[in-house]
Chain A
Amino acid sequence: GNSVTQMEGPVTLSEEAFLTINCTYTATGYPSLFWYVQYPGEGLQLLLKATKADDKGSNKGFEATYRKETTSFHLEKGSVQVSDSAVYFCALANSGGSNYKLTFGKGTLLTVNP
């Protein structure tokens, strides 16, 4: 079955540090890949996505590239801010059809200190 593994947290960084959150997946077919973010006490927001190999998703300074050869979708940001403190979820969606759903990783808590 499908599964997503992302790096265990928590991750604590200083403002303006470089961020990488690793994500690897196991899936059949050609999944789409997503990063969602959950700010404290809030719901899930889509951060970025990529729907095919070598696609790069980007938003708000965050980037992730769909690497089929390494089955990875690592999240990066060059300079984090305090406001980026949140839980980040890597997720994959299968190839579509009646079983279309998101399979999530366990989430990585990021804390950015001033």
Chain B
Amino acid sequence: DTAVSQTPKYLVTQMGNDKSIKCEQNLGHDTMYWYKQDSKKFLKIMFSYNNKELIINETVPNRFSPKSPDKAHLNLHINSLELGDSAVYFCASSQGPNSGNTIYFGEGSWLTVV
């Protein structure tokens, strides 16, 4: 069973469109995250939720809106897509926001905006 699963794995879309990436974890974790990996492989956190509540919101355009319907799911919706949004988006989860907890990552969603 995949611990952290996200869909779709690949997404090619036009500028201006709205798209969503879904994420589910079956680890029973309380905390979920979205990370962005740019074309140079650099990874940076975007959002973090703990028990469905937003706890980290890094400097991310308002066009990005996370939603956590329950502890096991954290979806990412992106409005008015721009070329610069092309990246790999990783969902992740951890037992809680506690020191030393391992953060487990999904397989990534490769987004290409044309």
- Contact A97–B97 (Cβ < 8 Å): yes
- Contact B99–A51 (Cβ < 8 Å): yes
> Interface residues of B, CB < 8 Å — how many?
29
Nearest A residue to B31 by beta-carbon distance?
A100
> Which A residues are CB-close (under 8 A) to B33?
101
- Contact B41–A107 (Cβ < 8 Å): yes
How many pairs, one residue from A and one from B, have CB atoms within 8 Å of each other in the complex?
72
**A6-33 vs B, Cβ < 8 Å mask (1 yes, 0 no):** 0000000000000000000000001010
A70 within 8 A of B: no
Contact of A101 among B56, B96, B98, B108 (CB under 8 A): B56
> A43 and B45 in contact (CB under 8 A), knowing A32-B99, A101-B33?
no
- Majority secondary structure, B binding face: strand
Report the interface size class on chain A.
20 to 34
> Which A residues are CB-close (under 8 A) to B101?
93, 96, 100
Contact of B41 among A34, A87, A101 (CB under 8 A): A87
Quick one: which of B21-74 are within 8 Å of A by CB? 31, 33, 35, 40-45, 48, 50, 55-56
Question: CB within 8 Å of A: which residues of B?
Answer: 31, 33, 35, 40-45, 48, 50, 55-56, 90, 92, 94, 96-108
